[in-house]
Amino acid sequence: MFKIALDKIDELFAALSGNETLYLPIEKSGEIEFYPYEKDAKVRLDALHTVKSAKDLFFPQTENLMNMKLDGKNIQIEEGRHVEDPFVLFGVRACDARSFDVLDKVFLADPVDSYYAARREHGVIVSMACSRPEETCFCNVFGIDATMPEGDVVVWLDTDHLYWEAKTEKGEALTKTVESVLTDSDSKAVEAQIAATKEIMDKLPLKDLDLTRFTEDEMMNIFNDSRWAEMSEHCLGCGTCTFVCPTCQCYDIRDYDTGHGVVRYRCWDSCMYRDFTRMAHGNPRKSQLERFRQRFMHKLVYFPENNDGMFSCVGCGRCLSKCPIHTNIAKVIKTMGVKEHE
Amino acid sequence: MREINEMLKKKVSELLENGTADRIIGWQAGEFCYDVTPAVMRKDNLDELFYNGFCGANQSKYLIQESLEEGKVLALLKPCDTYSFNQLVKEHRVNREKVYALGIPCSGMLDVDKIKALGITGILSIEDNGEEIKVATMYGDKTCKRTEVLQERCKVCKGKEHKAYDELLIPDEDAPEVPNGEDRFELVNKLEAMTSQERFDFWRGELSKCIRCNACRNVCPACSCRTCVFDNDNSGVAAKSNADDFEENMFHIIRAFHVAGRCTDCGECSRVCPQHIPLHLLNRKFIKDIDEFYGEFQAGEDDTAKGPLTAYTEGDCEPSIVMEKGGEA
Ligand code: SF4
Ligand code: SF4
Ligand code: SF4
Ligand code: SF4
């Protein structure tokens, strides 16, 4: 294990961003997102969550696929992708780190999404352990250890040091490039922090959410449960919950008329939107009830059913704090986790 | 607040009992002390109803749908909500006959994001008693000043008078004092004083955070079109994130134009924005300009008066004023 004093952390960021782009939580116009590091950036390692999750780096909200330009009677087609640039993604929390496993199941399954795959290959993940979870956090419910996130390198932060440990080959290689600014360290401080954080995690208000009912056997009972009506009644049908979610994976492919050509791009889509999966015959989910139900059935029943029991929620709590009317997956788990009329 | 909560529960059960209305749009407690959800309640689940400093959501828009259904719905309107209500009635979007409006007092609503922004996290409970807000957290007890954590719109409260009601829970004169209104055009003035480049940078910085979740549009009582232009495939503009983020920024400008003269400055757009984009500043700029060009006007003050952009008077400003204003300032 290595360490570096926090008052020298800019040296680490400078070293990490020397050869490739370094993305980390940075505050701009008052909000924190993963932005490329530059000197004097307002780095916010204290923040638990960026608004958009870290998935934006592998599966960006919009990405141009190709540009079509009219040249006389010819149409020129250029590929629009930039996916082979190596980058370092620093400061990913355990919940977001697990979300990559969920996304891998979707995008790396046959047929492989070459855009996503290229970014996964070229990105090195430096994840960061949590020591001050919020009341909305419930990663533990999905078996995620907030003190020991997945990643190529894991870092822990205390009041005056950052501790660094490589976990994979990619992580070892990255460590080599920054070794000159790090010093050797024992793991005492980290062990103490892990123990302290575990005690806090045991007191989280949502730590006991019970997922046992969300099985294939109960699928149709949950689907037909009459309580979806009241749960979805005031859903605004906005896309907030889906766009802040690290595991939501649906996208749309659209053409944008620039006036002198066409840009074909893909962008995040939301099952809460009424044109979602609309086909020639119309939309399969006509009411907000059906759309609302889809989001949660997908995360809690269909996805695990198709992926060896892996839920497609990682308990980051973003939808809990961002839904404008405060209806969310924790409420759904609590309500639907218990049989109707019980 | 506790007293008002009790009075409210009693009044509502009376009104449902005597058949004045058959259901109510109220508020339901959530997982935490601050995450209140609007919910329709009837006699059998009325015990879930409560009212506290986190019941900021303006429920007027739900009345569009509710007033299409059978029976009469009981609406709880805070003073500021009555402006949106009037506007929706004026635009024939809410059927007034199907609503029984109970005016409820308000002493300012709290914004939990502002509490969290002060570094107060791991919130377990919040005690809202007057000037000081006490917050119990997983990391110890904290306090903050009420004025620091008021919702944006409450800082410029329009006053405690209800502009529409069938009945008031307590007379407006006896209602608690509302927060001292700050000047709502203060920031607009600041933006106007900037160079056009500074202003452009400010808005590009803010609007580029937008994730196109459409929460601002979907919650807005003035955005009451059945099918929004952004949901119409043939319009050439999409409701999702665009390939060109400048195009996307235009979404907000178009929306602000569309609600101009009808926006009551209820602040819902800014309240729901997950990126805390100060959308109210766009609307306030329009309100300020309309005030200057056509005379002072507050949308939703009543449910009959024609808006300045939908009525013609000889004193109306000439369109050329736009050119004069639009240049380098
Ligand atoms: S659940 Fe909340 S965030 Fe999601 S679409 Fe409905 S209102 Fe929007
Ligand atoms: S569903 Fe909500 S809590 Fe779960 S991963 Fe998505 S945003 Fe986070
Ligand atoms: S959900 Fe878990 S991993 Fe994510 S920020 Fe909270 S404590 Fe950390
Ligand atoms: S609520 Fe905010 S993020 Fe969502 S569309 Fe409106 S401005 Fe954009």
* Residue owning the nearest CA to atom 7 of ligand 4: B210
d(CA B193, CA B102): 42
Residue A65's Cβ-side half-sphere holds a number of Cα atoms within 13 Å equal to: 16
Contacts of B35 in chain A (CB under 8 A): 320, 326
Pairing of strands B99-103, B167-168: parallel
Q: What is the mean pLDDT of residues B26-32?
A: 91
Q: What is the mean pLDDT of residues A174-201?
A: 96
Q: Is there a single domain that holds both residue A223 and residue A302? A: yes
Residue B293 confidence (pLDDT): 87
Residue with CA closest to ligand 4 atom 3: B210
- Pick the residue with more confidence: A238 or B244? A238
Binding site membership of A246 for ligand 3 (Cβ less than 6 Å): no
Partner B contacted by A240 (CB < 8 A): yes
CB of A102 shorter than 6 A to ligand 3: no
Per-residue pLDDT, A191:
97
**Chain B environment of A328 (Cβ under 8 Å):** 31
- Distance of residue A128 Cα from the nearest chain B Cα, in angstroms: 19
Split at pLDDT 50, 70, 90, the class of B67 is very high
Type of residue at B156: V
Q: Using one digit for the tens of pLDDT, what is the confidence trace for A25-44?
A: 999 999 999 999 998 999 99
Confidence check: pLDDT of B181 > 80: no
Of B57, B236, B272, the CB nearest to A257: B236
A174 with A316, same domain?
A: no
Clarify whether residues A9 and A95 are in a common domain.
Answer: yes
If you measure from the C-alpha of residue B268 to the centroid of ligand 1, how many angstroms do you get, rounded to a whole number? 15
Within a domain: A342 = no
Asked whether the predicted pLDDT for residue B327 surpasses 70, the reply is: no
The answer to whether residues A132 and A231 belong to one domain is no
B88-143 tens-digit pLDDT: 999 999 999 999 999 999 989 999 999 999 999 999 999 988 889 999 999 999 99
Closest chain B C-alpha to A92 CA, distance in angstroms? 19
Distance from A108 to chain B by nearest Cα, in Å? 24
Distance between first and last Cα of chain A: 52
pTM as predicted: 0.94
Q: How confident is the model at residue B64 (pLDDT cuts 50, 70, 90)?
A: very high
**Measured from the CA of A133, which atom of ligand 3 is nearest?**
7
- What confidence score (pLDDT) does residue B70 get? 94
Look up the domain containing A323 and give its range: 216-336
What is the number of domains present in chain A? Answer: 2
**Lowest mean pLDDT segment, chosen from A1-15, A122-136, B288-302, B303-317:** B303-317
Q: Which of A150, A178, A201 is the last residue of a domain?
A: A201
Question: What pLDDT was estimated at residue B231?
Answer: 87
Of the candidates B87, B12, B64, B10, the one whose C-alpha atom is nearest the C-alpha of residue B42 is B12
A227-254 pLDDT, tens digit per residue, is 999 999 999 999 999 999 999 999 999 9
CA B28 / ligand 3 centre spacing (Å): 27
Instruction: Tell me if A94 is assigned to some domain.
Output: yes
User: Does the distance separating the beta carbons of B205 and A28 come in below 8 Å?
Assistant: yes
Q: Note the helical H segments in chain A.
A: 9-16, 94-107, 114-122, 169-178, 188-201, 219-223, 227-232, 240-244, 288-297, 303-306, 318-322, 329-336
Best mutation target, B35, B42, B231, to test chain A (most A CBs within 10 A): B35
Q: Are residues A15 and A50 in the same domain?
A: yes
For residues A61 and A157, state if they share a domain: yes
Angle at CA of residue A162, ends A157 and A166, nearest 5°: 105
A142 and A221 both lie in a single domain: no
Yes or no, beta carbons of A331 and B213 under 8 Å apart: no
The pLDDT value given to residue B325: 57
Q: Is the pLDDT of residue B323 over 90?
A: no
User: Would an 8 Å CB–CB cutoff place B238 in contact with chain A?
Assistant: yes
Q: Do B57 and A252 touch (CB under 8 A)?
A: no
Same domain, A24 and A163: yes
Helix axes A94-107, A114-122, angle to 10 degrees: 140
* Residue B8 C-alpha, separation from nearest chain A C-alpha, in angstroms: 21
Residues in contact with A338: Cβ distance below 8 Å, sequence separation at least 6, in sequence order: A213
User: What does the block give as tokens for A341?
Assistant: 């009329």
Using one digit for the tens of pLDDT, what is the confidence trace for A272-293? 998 898 888 888 899 999 999 9
pLDDT averaged over every residue in chain A: 95
Instruction: Give yes or no: residues A253 and A277 share one domain.
Output: yes
What size, in residues, is chain B?
A: 329
Cα–chain center distance at A64: 21
Residues A297 and A186 in one domain: no
Which of the ligands is closest to the CA of residue A322? Answer: 1
Quick check: is A207 in a domain? no
Q: What percent of chain A has pLDDT over 70?
A: 100
Q: Distance between CA B316 and CA B294 in Å, rounded? A: 6
What is the DSSP-derived secondary structure letter of residue B160?
S
Reported as a single tens digit per residue, the pLDDT across A51-60 is 999 999 999 9
In the three-class reduction of DSSP (H, G, I as helix; E, B as strand; rest coil), residue A259 is classed as: coil
Give the angle A334-B43-B68 at the CA atoms, nearest 5°.
90
Ligand at minimal distance from the CA of A139 is 3
Q: Is the Cβ atom of A312 under 6 angstroms away from ligand 2?
A: no
pLDDT over 90 percentage in chain A: 89
Residue A298 CB-half CA count within 13 A: 16
Do residues A196 and A221 share a domain? no
List the 203-232 stretch of B: residues with Cβ below 8 A of A: 205-206, 208-209, 211-215, 217-219, 231
Q: Is the peptide bond before A111 cis (omega within 30 degrees of 0)?
A: yes
When pLDDT is cut at 50, 70 and 90, the band that residue B324 belongs to is low
Residue A33 lies in a domain: yes
How high is the mean pLDDT of chain B?
91
User: What span, in angstroms and rounded, lies between the C-alpha atoms of A83 and A175?
Assistant: 23
Please tell me the distance between residue A129's alpha carbon and the centre of ligand 3 in angstroms.
Answer: 8
Question: What's the mean pLDDT in B287-309?
Answer: 90
* C-beta of B277 in contact with ligand 4 (< 6 A): yes
Asked if pLDDT for residue B241 goes beyond 90, the answer is: no
* Predicted confidence (pLDDT) at residue B329 exceeds the cutoff of 50: no
pLDDT at A149: 98
Q: How confident is residue B250, by pLDDT bands cut at 50, 70 and 90?
A: confident
Q: Which of B42, B273, B177, B294 is nearest to A324 (CA)?
A: B273
Element (H, E) at B135: strand B132-137
Tell me which of B275, B277, B281 to substitute to probe the interface with A (most A C-beta atoms closer than 10 Å): B275
User: Does residue A209 sit within a domain?
Assistant: no
Of B31, B231, B233, the CB nearest to A330: B31
- Contact check, Cβ <8 Å, B219/A236: yes
Nearest residue of B to residue A329 by CA position? B31
Interface of B with A in 97-136 (CB under 8 A): 113, 116, 121-124
A139 lines ligand 3 (CB under 6 A): yes
Q: Inform me whether the pLDDT recorded for A211 exceeds 70.
A: yes
CB atoms B124 and A275 under 8 Å: no
DSSP string, B86-131: HHHHHTT-S-GGGEEEEE---S--B-HHHHHHTT--SEEEEEEETT
The whole-number average pLDDT for the span B44-48 is: 90
Residue B322: predicted pLDDT = 64
Does residue A274 share a domain with residue A195? no
Mean of the pLDDT values across residues B266-295?
94
